[in-house]
Amino acid sequence: MIRIPLATTPITAVGLALALALSTGASHAADLRYSFHGDAQGVTVTSGGVLTHVVEDDNGYLSVADIDNEDMLLVIPLGGATADWSSYLGGKLSFDGRSLNGDLPSWPSFGLLTLTSAAGSVSFDFVPSNHPAADWIRYTVQLDAATFGPALPSILAALTSATINLESGNGPIEVVGIDNLRITAAVPEPQSWALLLAGLGVAGAIARRRRD
């Protein structure tokens, strides 16, 4: 058995820390953030509604007006025909919503998130049936199998569509506001951070030994 002294092993503290971070999942995927300050940022709505970008007091948001009896779906851009959202498994999707015309909600579809791939789709309505309210409210859903079912991981890995149903009235009467749409990755578990810190400690010890 050949023993290689640690002092001559070509491992740097940075390299070891990076490798450990990747192997433990401590690397954090970039969150998707839609603040709508300047424009709609690629977000669209299906033919059941009309989307308008509104700016008030230097802050932007989306106004979506119902124009027929069909569902109006907010379409989240994927950047291509398919997208790999595996990094967001265990994370969250959230948005701020409100009624812009005082319409009393009478249809329970508002807030139905549908995620689709070639293999199928999963849906979950994470907004109470009597919403949106007259004031801005943050709505949040956990992107996990406990909420959407066991098919979610495979669907997120090859996502072809992500929509939020904004229909809240029985007929073309409602106008809803949407702002601060977020898709955030899962926060690394405590044991992942513990492994990362342990790896940094080992890397530091190696670096000190090499200096000695």
151 assigned to some structural domain: yes
Strand partners, 145: none
What CATH number has the domain bearing residue 74?
Answer: 2.60.120.260
70 assigned to some structural domain: yes
Q: Which two tokens stand for residue 49?
A: 């509604």
207 assigned to some structural domain: no
Q: Which residue segment(s) compose the domain that 82 sits in?
A: 29-190
Q: How far is CA 147 from CA 85, 125, 128, 153, 185, in A?
A: 16, 10, 15, 12, 16
3 assigned to some structural domain: no
* pLDDT for position 1: 53
Angle formed by the axes of helices 13-24 and 190-211, nearest 10°: 160
Alpha carbons 201 and 17: distance in angstroms, whole number = 9
* pLDDT for position 4: 43
Q: How far is CA 143 from CA 111, 119, 162, 177, in A?
A: 14, 18, 12, 23
Nearest Cα neighbor of 156 from 123, 188, 115 is: 115
143 assigned to some structural domain: yes
Query: Into how many domains does the chain fold?
Result: 1
pTM, two decimal places: 0.78
145 assigned to some structural domain: yes
14 assigned to some structural domain: no
* pLDDT for position 22: 47
* pLDDT for position 211: 62
* pLDDT for position 157: 98
21 assigned to some structural domain: no
* pLDDT for position 178: 98
Per-residue pLDDT of the chain (212 residues; tens, 9 = 90+): 544 444 434 445 445 444 444 444 444 569 999 999 999 999 999 999 999 999 998 899 999 999 998 899 999 999 999 999 999 999 999 999 999 998 888 888 999 999 999 999 999 999 998 899 999 999 999 999 999 999 999 999 999 999 999 999 877 789 999 999 999 999 875 544 445 555 555 555 565 666 66
Nearest Cα neighbor of 100 from 165, 171, 176 is: 176
117 CB neighbour count, 10 Å cutoff: 20
